[in-house]
Structure 1
């Protein structure tokens, strides 16, 4: 009798004992988890179908939120259909690799027929060239630096596959220097911003999505050449609210076991707010960060907002 293939959730449970905080290895100037670096050629050589959609973000910038909005738009707001599998299976994480039997992002993509929705945290210069050669659509979501740093800090505390974050005051410096997984926030947001017109990238801002989700969902719909009714748009606004997504087991990563994501330290969907950074930065840290931010962002005019 043929053995039934493992579900994604079961594969993670079985591999949990092999999980550790993997070190970062430099790939073309960008620190990536060692498991990704060791498989880099396969990632870099990935050839998407022209119909594939790439959702790109710096970690903890609204990735899962964007994935859920896109999935609901593609399925006309059908909430049950969008619970067919966890986010990581519906929209595979291109570069991620983990100990067997956990399938890599590439493994999951091989099992899917185009058009596929693909997630990446890669900065634009590391995105496989095939996405640009095949003129794939790309949605990029960016979040203001201070809230992004806070969210990434709490994520690194609970995600036991990423390097130990250490204390908050030291983490701020690592964030400013780009010494975290996937590198510099500054380089990341600027890279996609500069190429957005030439490469037809839909560039979204997290703060705009919080302030007026309906407007941003409509922007995504038009970009994807879709047409859904006003009622469906309203349903998607409700289904992708932070409260609803936090309670959705197919979107909140609650299926990932404690040796991988220890949600007793910090939950995957923590607050989803704009301006929570004020509860973490001291006035001196904020001043130091602001001075560095002004230097690093002086060559672009991305309209980030630190409160709404």
Structure 2
């Protein structure tokens, strides 16, 4: 049924509203460091991360793990629909962060009442900080990767509207901080290189944003096979339709418009806006692209090619990028576009 949330869900949502209000009042814009990784305060704390490291995992738990802005919410939406056999009622009645709550936040997944079976949970943690008990369990991790050039563009824009994140400064300053790992959750390179070591394990699936974009039905089938979940063709079509970008952008339970502007100010830009691959070419200058490529080649040496490495059309930016429509075209490159 597509009506309002059930009483238990509504009661939890009322509690979360109070938690969100309290978090909003503690935002400082400066990060704290935990075991070499920067985190924004209020939303995270050393205690909440330590608690996550030592939490108990169940064998039927399913985790979505990503570096920020790599398709986390897209995969959550897909999983939310898969475990309901394509029925969209859940994604239309329960906020996405409640369907797959974050492990390491102050209001963390392991401290919340169970709202789904199996439990869906999300995390941005690098592998060395992830819940230790996972590695001796049968629980499953789906790791979403994404072209880091698109990640940095999306993260830049997100930092402009997210109250818990530091102001990103100029695009060039932010790119340099990203390449040095001095952004929320640290180095993209270390994050993906840490988790990719899990490939070959029965309870680990590595999948990319680019693969979902290229073949969403095939990617959903691959996720179902990994989970051991059978979907009819009708259910599969429903998962694909209701996890499409436009469907998510129109769904208030998935587009984050329920959050207050103090946490996410969508008056300054939508959280879900484009949902494309390769938008970085509209924002990187040639010099920025060359600087990025130098670091990328050095840091990723010896690893197999990723989908974004294999696409010849994704190899270099337009020397004269076409900016988004803007009253001041010269500044358009300072406003990268987010994706889910």
Q: Normalising to structure 2: TM-score of the pair?
A: 0.83
Deviation at 1:297, TM superposition (A): 0.8
- Which residue is 2:186 aligned to? 183
- Which residue is 2:261 aligned to? 258
Deviation at 1:216, TM superposition (A): 0.5
Instruction: Note closer, same or farther for the CA distance 1:210–1:121 as it changes in structure 2 (3 Å cut).
Output: same
Which of 150, 153, 158 is matched with 1:150 structurally?
153
Counterpart-to-counterpart distance in 1, 2:220 and 2:101? 21
Is contact 1:21-1:164 (8 Å) kept? no
RMSD: 1.9
Counterpart-to-counterpart distance in 1, 2:15 and 2:90? 18
Map 1:283-294 to 2 at 5 A: 283-294=286-297
- Which residue is 1:20 aligned to? 27
Deviation at 1:80, TM superposition (A): 1.5
Counterpart-to-counterpart distance in 1, 2:85 and 2:299? 41
Instruction: Note closer, same or farther for the CA distance 1:231–1:160 as it changes in structure 2 (3 Å cut).
Output: same
In structure 2, stretches of 5+ residues that fail to align are 1-10, 315-340
Alignment length (residue pairs): 299
1:11 aligns with 2:30: no
Deviation at 1:111, TM superposition (A): 4.5
Is contact 2:29-2:167 (8 Å) kept? no
Q: Secondary structure at the match of 1:138?
A: strand
Deviation at 1:26, TM superposition (A): 2.0
Is contact 2:28-2:41 (8 Å) kept? no
- Which residue is 1:38 aligned to? 46
- Which residue is 2:220 aligned to? 217
1:73 aligns with 2:82: yes
- Which residue is 1:268 aligned to? 271
Deviation at 1:115, TM superposition (A): 2.4
Deviation at 1:143, TM superposition (A): 0.5
Q: Deviations over 1:77-117 (max 9, x none)?
A: 111233231011111111112xxxxx444432x45475210
Q: Normalising to structure 1: TM-score of the pair?
A: 0.91
Counterpart-to-counterpart distance in 2, 1:48 and 1:220? 20
Counterpart-to-counterpart distance in 2, 1:63 and 1:80? 20
Instruction: Note closer, same or farther for the CA distance 1:19–1:260 as it changes in structure 2 (3 Å cut).
Output: farther
Deviation at 1:207, TM superposition (A): 0.5
1:299 aligns with 2:302: yes
- Which residue is 1:242 aligned to? 245
